[in-house]
Amino acid sequence: MSLHFLRRAKPLFTSPFPHTNLLRRSSFHGSPVMSEAEKKILTEEELERKKKKDDKAKEKELKKLKALEKAKLAELKAKQAKDGTSAPKKNSKKSSKRDASDENPADFVDPETPLGEKKRLSSQMAKQYSPAAVEKSWYAWWEKSELFKADAKSSKPPFVIVLPPPNVTGALHIGHALTSAIEDTIIRWKRMSGYNALWVPGMDHAGIATQVVVEKKLMRDRGVTRHDVGREEFVNEVWKWKNQHGGTILTQLRRLGASLDWSRECFTMDEQRSKAVTEGFVRLYKEGLIYRDIRLVNWDCVLRTAVSDVEVDHIDIKEKTLLNIPGYDKPVEFGLLTSFAYPLEGGLGEVVVATTRVETMLGDTAIAIHPDDARYNHLHGKFAVHPFNGRKIPIICDGILVDPNFGTGCVKITPAHDPNDCEVGKRHNLEFINILTDDGKINTNGGSDFTGMPRFAAREAVLEALKNKGLYRGAQNNEMRLGLCQRTGDVIEPMIKPQWYVNCSMIGKEALDVAINDENKKLEFVPKQYTAEWRRWLENIRDWCISRQLWWGHRIPAWYATLEEDERKEIGAYNDHWVVARTEDEARKEAAEKFSGKKFELTQDQDVLDTWFSSGLFPLSVLGWPDETEDFKAFYPTSVLETGHDILFFWVARMVMMGMKLGGDVPFSKVYFHPMIRDAHGRKMSKSLGNVIDPLEVINGVTLDALHKRLEEGNLDPKELVVAKEGQVKDFPNGISECGADALRFALVSYTAQSDKINLDILRVVGYRQWCNKLWNAVRFAMMRLGDDYSPPLTLSPETMPFSCQWILSVLNKAISKTVESLNAFEFSDAANTVYAWWQYQFCDVYIEAIKPYFAGDNPAFASERAHAQHALWVSLETGLRLLHPLMPFVTEELWQRLPSPKNTERKASIMICDYPSAVENWTNEKVETEMETVLASVKCLRALRAGLLEKQKNERLPAFALCENNVTSEVVKSHELEIRTLANLSSLEVLLKGEHAAPPGSAVETVNENLKVYLKVNRALNTEAEQEKIRNKIDELQKQKEKLQKVMSASGYEEKVPANIKEDNATKLAKILQEFDFFEKESARLVAETGNEQMEK
């Protein structure tokens, strides 16, 4: 369980002066904390005096706090009296307590909740939203109540997501947070939408990463290597480490609110998953899809294992460059192309070749030339002589590899240590000579002068030896790409090794077909662009090397039978002596049949399987495969895979291939690829840049000093540390504010529209944290307006409600439809923005303000409107919170729990098991929405006039006028005069009809639409010059529009060629332009006249 849930509550009050903080160094109950020595020094009398002094100090602090609250209350009442929006009288006892000046601060603080129990809420809502307070206790209760648990026997339709298993060594990073935010949004939505929703958590044993961590720990704690302790003890050490430290990230995911079914938590090396891995290997081997071969692999000399392409980082080197390489005391030189000569047999001269890895010449077995290169026709079929061992080196013709125009046109061939040379070696049946030991030293094949040298030390020695023999021909800068192991930083060495492989040709084709074949399409990618990437990978798929020379991982279920009659006794000497089985007993039986009548000894392969092999089986194994479990029958295939596009091939393709082959179907029908996260400047997150963002630091907040400390505790060199700290100062000058999990989740989901990359700006997360405060205050407002005895209705009749209530329900209906549509389309950013827009711009900015007059005192004229407004308020809040819940689970749960529920109905225990909102047919009212558009457009214009005209007293209530072109517009404005007046903060609103009323003097005008203008009367505050300038600009703009349209209409052939409907539209547009033109010319004349009158009065 996350320590967050065990944290002590924040003190109720603290002194603004650090040296007088009553709760500084205090116990949980506020008593000062003293050492045992201090206690012994104080006498009983002194202790009593100290206690009284502390009590007085606390009492004084409480009085100060109450006085502050009283002053704020008085200020609020004065403002309400001035604005005419004083709060309604409250009849309940609790309401009267709220208004009383002696309110108790403790009423606003949640009581402590025992771990796992339902959260105990304060009697009064806190006046400010606090992420730490709100997000406390809920998760432990959700989990203990088994609200995340799916039922394999449920009749509900299944919906399943498997969490991409994080590494057991890992800690939560921002990529995990994005994955969690998206997947939890999906699963909570589906759970609320009536699905039997299952989200399975698991961890990956992370073979290389975990082995490296434990090896370092052994060296640090005991000064020994894994080879010193032996395989069995080392594996026991890894299990011990895993049980003590592994799984940290799963605990951290709880802090994000991830509603995973923890009852099904699994680990890729646990008993059931290990059984699945063994079964998968055996079945694929029996079908001829797994085989053993000697091929070139990526070799890490530090780890002494093959590594996959995804575990290799490439760096570009432009010229001679020195790099620090593990195991070497001084930097190693790269980026040089070294030329040297091979003497030709029979004294025919020499051929010059060039290489960036001169030490590999110890394993050269040929020199290649182009068959059409006339310079070397005389060398066809000839031999060179190796200068150090006298080996004859054939000169071969290869038109595929050799470019006669590059360098000398001669290429040295080292088949055992270069991918291109390896292919040449196969084409020409060359000898493959491995010159390196597993730890990167020159072996006996390299010659006695170099045996035992580390490869890069041998590089220098070979160079010196070539010079001594007069064969060195110089070196020059050379651009190159260098492969480095992600885990160790070691230079990857191509090595020829016997390994186990999966034949991917057929299963790869099947995986491709289900995604691109319209007749048999079972797999869809979101965004669709990744279908092309899928095709590119699978059309060029190579067989998959699945063995690793590690000790931590799934031991390969293959045994080698050494026969008594074998000449060569080393393991693996004869490729047909391998037997594959589920257990050693089964292997022994199979070997006895295979080598009937012969004596043999069995030895299990020392290698383990590539971690991606068990990961590829994950959708199968987490549900109990290969056993026919209830879970497997109910939940396979799963529904959606959500992951990063960087592992499309390495994980996604392998799951599809193995799922189809072993599970009989695609493991999921849809794959959603989330973007990769960058910093606010678009840079990849890197410890050396100081821009790595820890999600927990965003959730809990962190100071700049603490950010610096994290860097100092890392392994950056001093120069990198300086750069990283400067980056942190630039990006987080004041640290990171406490944002909470809800705000972080919402920000990450809302970012997903940014193509394949997210430029994460922490200020946006801070903005959503502030928005949570707005939600909090909206519910506080509602609770005050509803009162303590309010009982929500079971049904609503919108047609009987006031205009603003009809409107909020109608736009809520649209928000529901748009949100569900976006979620179904995996457009999570659109869903988040739709919910945000409804809460922010419609509910908070409009509806809450529009209904305030109904609650301004106990005006009997508004009794009916007040009751309807309460109902609409409750329905909007309750529905809006359910709509928002998948995106922000904590704050929505807390606010929903505070809402009253209808009487005589069973209230669900949690918002997360309520129904997700769906559109209600009779809530939609297009007429009301259209009229509200006019209201809000009018309000916007009036606010703009106020902001532009009044430098001071911008909130002063002013009279306004609405000039309508026709009776229809006039009736709309008249019927919604209260809403316009309230939202625009007007003292009055008079409706004028064009032709019947003159423009009011001392007023500024703004156009709402073609049928409506609004005036704000400001009298002396009116800057007539500025207003004249505004009108002149408008007239100029209209003049341009008129001339442009008249030019079109007067063009040759206009009457004959242009369709009638377009001509009619143009004529209407011109008439409206002329009408506007006339209006503003009259306005200009009015202002001139008013200015003249003012001057005469002076």
Alpha helices in 677-717 (DSSP H): 695-700, 704-712
Helix axes 1060-1097, 1024-1049, angle to 10 degrees: 160
User: pLDDT averaged over the chain?
Assistant: 88
pLDDT digits (tens, 9 = 90+) for 811-848: 999 999 999 999 999 999 999 999 999 999 999 999 99
Cα–Cα distance between 480 and 336 in angstroms, integer? 9
Average pLDDT on 746-766 reads: 90
Average pLDDT on 717-739 reads: 89
Between the two ends of the chain, the Cα-to-Cα distance in Å is: 79
- How much is the pTM? 0.83
990 has which bridge partners?
961
* Token code pair at residue 1044: 């442009």
Q: What is the pLDDT of residue 64?
A: 53
Q: Which long-range contacts (CB under 8 A, 24 or more apart) does 567-571 make?
A: 571/603
Q: How confident is the model at residue 102 (pLDDT cuts 50, 70, 90)?
A: low
Cα–Cα distance between 688 and 410 in angstroms, integer? 42
Q: DSSP string of 114-174?
A: -TTSPPPPPSS--SS--HHHHTSSHHHHHHHTTTT---TT-SSPEEEEEPPPPBTT----H
Whether residue 2 has pLDDT greater than 80: no
Whether residue 36 has pLDDT greater than 80: no
Q: What is the pLDDT of residue 18?
A: 35
Listed in sequence order, the residues at least 6 apart from 476 whose beta carbon sits closer than 8 Å to its beta carbon are 336, 337
Q: DSSP string of 233-263?
A: HHHHHHHHHHHHHTTHHHHHHHHTT----GG
Q: How confident is the model at residue 712 (pLDDT cuts 50, 70, 90)?
A: confident
Q: What is the pLDDT of residue 1057?
A: 85
676 has which bridge partners?
757
Q: How confident is the model at residue 173 (pLDDT cuts 50, 70, 90)?
A: confident
Sort strands 336-343 and 350-355 into parallel, antiparallel or unpaired: antiparallel
* Residue 854 · residue 865 · CB < 8 Å: yes
Cα–Cα distance between 318 and 477 in angstroms, integer? 8
Cα–Cα distance between 857 and 901 in angstroms, integer? 25
User: What is the percent of the chain where pLDDT is above 70?
Assistant: 89
Cα–Cα distance between 843 and 855 in angstroms, integer? 17
Q: Residue 708 CB: number of other CB atoms within 10 A? A: 17
Q: What is the pLDDT of residue 952?
A: 62
- Among the residue ranges 152-156, 274-278, 621-625, 685-689, the one predicted with the least confidence is 685-689
Average pLDDT on 682-706 reads: 86
Nearest Cα to Cα of residue 137 among 890, 862, 1051 = 890
pLDDT digits (tens, 9 = 90+) for 505-544: 999 999 999 999 888 899 999 999 999 999 999 999 999 9
Alpha-carbon separation of residue 88 from 101, 530, 778, 919 (angstroms): 17, 58, 17, 33
Cα–Cα distance between 699 and 739 in angstroms, integer? 5
Cα–Cα distance between 574 and 300 in angstroms, integer? 26
Of residues 1079 and 1089, the one with the higher pLDDT is 1079
Whether residue 324 has pLDDT greater than 70: yes
* Token code pair at residue 259: 């509603």
Cis peptide before 626 (omega within 30 of 0): yes
Phi, psi at 489, each rounded to 5°: 80, 5
pLDDT digits (tens, 9 = 90+) for 626-643: 999 999 999 999 999 999
Cα–Cα distance between 403 and 400 in angstroms, integer? 8
Q: Is the dihedral of CA 744, 745, 747, 751 positive or negative?
A: positive
